[in-house]
Amino acid sequence: MELPYVVVIILFYLGIYTIIMNKNLIKIVVGVNIVESSLILLLILISFKLGGTAPILDRKYELVVDPIPQALALTAIVIGGSLIAVMLALVIKIYKRYGTLNVDEIRKLRG
């Protein structure tokens, strides 16, 4: 078992724990971001080959890392960034409406 995969697991469940345990909406958004980072790290790990070069074939090469997960990682980064932006806009809206960021208090106010 390689160590980097363990780091992916730790990061992923650190993010999940943050999402579940925190009451603050901003911290929940940060948790989602941590989960997303762990998944990008996993994509890069899957494409990695020991001794491989970057998939830019401008000179002699022997071993090239897998280019497909890198392209997918770019997709994941773009979509994750848009997602975080939309979530933060929603959080701003909620704060203006209820005057608090605490999940429990918002639930109480809604009745």
Partner 1 sequence: MRRIYILALILILASLLFFTFYDLLHPTEFETDKTQISDYYIEHGVKETGAINLVTAILFDYRAFDTLGEATVIFIAVSAISLLATKERVLVSNTNFSPIVYQGISFIIPFLYILAFYLIFYGHLSPGGGFTGGVVIATTFVLLKMTFGIRYSREEKSLQRRSLIESCGAIGFIIVGILGIVRGDSFLANGQAGFDLGVAGQLLSAGIIPILNLFTGIKVGSGLAIIFHRLVREE
Closer residue to partner 1, CB minimum distance, 26 or 88: 88
Segment interacting with partner 1 (CB under 8 A) among 28-36, 64-72, 99-107? 64-72
Quote the CA–CA distance of 43 and 68 in Å, as a whole number.
9
User: In the stretch 84-103, what mask flags binding to partner 1 with x, by CB under 8 A?
Assistant: -xx-xxx-xx--x-------
Q: How far is CA 47 from the centre of its chain?
A: 18
- Residue 2 in tokens: 């390689």
Binding status of residue 26 toward partner 1 by CB under 8 A = no
Binding status of residue 48 toward partner 1 by CB under 8 A = no
C-alpha distances out from residue 69 to 33, 44, 91, Å: 19, 7, 32
Binding status of residue 62 toward partner 1 by CB under 8 A = no
Q: For the chain, how far is it from start to end, CA to CA, in angstroms?
A: 50
Sign of CA pseudo-dihedral 93, 99, 100, 105: negative
Per CB under 8 A, residues contacting partner 1 are 1-2, 5-6, 8-10, 12-13, 16-17, 20-21, 54-58, 64, 66-68, 70-71, 74-75, 77-79, 82-83, 85-86, 88-90, 92-93, 96
